[in-house]
Amino acid sequence: MPLIHVDTDMGVDDALALVAAERLDGVSLAAISTVAGNVSLRQATLNALILRRFLGSEARVPVWAGSSPPPAGPSIDARHIHGEDGLGGATFALGPELRESLPKIDAIPGIAEAEPVTGPVTILGIGPATNIPSLVERYGPRNVDRIVLMSGAFFDVGNITGAAEFNAFGDPVALERVLASVFMSPSCRSISPARWCCPARWSIAGRPAPARRSATCW
C-alpha cells in the first residue's frame, strides 16, 4: 500500500487534506510533520495532535515537529484567513480535558530524532517547503518515491505578489533547494493545476471525482 507523509502548516485546507489522506482507500498515512506557515510552528503542531486524536490515529501515525522558515526570510502567516488557531477557531471550543490529555508539544520529536517508516514514501508538502530537504535526508533519497508540493503559481498570478503563491513565498530558499536537488531530476518534475490532478487521483482511489473546484490533491 502506498505510504504518504504529509508536511503541513495546519490550516483549514490542510485539515481536510489530512482527513482525505487518512480515509482514502489504497493509501496509508505514514507520518505528519509540521511547519510554520498558516500559523506558528507550535500552533501547527498542536493542530496536528488534535486532528490526529479525532481521526483515531494516535497509535499508528506519528507527528514530527518541523521547523519555521529562517529568520532572514519573509515573515507571513494566514491567520486572517484560517483564524487565530488556523482552524477557524474550532480549537478554542475544545474542553481543557482534551488539551491536557494530548502529548506535550515540547516532547514531540523533531525530524532529525524521528523514526521513519521503511519502504517507498510520497512526501506531500502542503505548506512552505522548509522541512522537505530534511525529510528527504531522514527517509533517504532511495526511500522517497516522489515529492508532491502544493506550491507556486504557474498558470495564474500569485496570491501574495504577482508572481508568488503563499507557500512558495513562505520559504523560497528551501523550495529552490528542493527543485534544484539531485533527487529532483528533470525527468520526474511535472506541474499540474489542481483541476487536472483531482479527478485522476480520486479515480485511482475508486471513488467518483469531486467537483473541479476542489483543490485538495496529490
Can you say how many angstroms the Cα of residue 187 is from the centroid of all Cα atoms in its chain?
A: 24
Q: Is the pLDDT of residue 3 over 90?
A: yes
Q: What is the pTM of this model?
A: 0.82
Tens-digit pLDDT profile for residues 154-198:
777 888 888 889 999 999 999 999 988 755 544 445 555 544 443
Per DSSP, the three-state class of 3 is strand
Q: Which residue has the higher pLDDT, 136 or 152?
A: 136
Average pLDDT over residues 44-71: 92
Q: Is the pLDDT of residue 74 over 50?
A: yes
CB 33 within 8 A of CB 47: no
Q: Which residue has the higher pLDDT, 201 or 162?
A: 162
Q: Is the pLDDT of residue 212 over 50?
A: no
Q: Is the pLDDT of residue 88 over 70?
A: yes
CB 8 within 8 A of CB 18: yes
What domains lie within the chain, and their CATH numbers? 3-204 (3.90.245.10)
Instruction: Give the model's pLDDT for residue 124.
Output: 95
Instruction: Give the model's pLDDT for residue 72.
Output: 60
d(CA 134, CA 207): 34
Per DSSP, the three-state class of 30 is strand
Listed residue (79, 71, 75) closest to 44, CA to CA = 79
Segment among 102-106, 147-151, 152-156 with least mean pLDDT? 152-156
d(CA 1, CA 36): 30
CB 118 within 8 A of CB 28: no
Instruction: Give the model's pLDDT for residue 205.
Output: 37
DSSP 78-130: -HHHH-TTSSTTGGGGS-HHHHHHSPPGGGSPBTTT--PPSS-EEEEE-S-GG
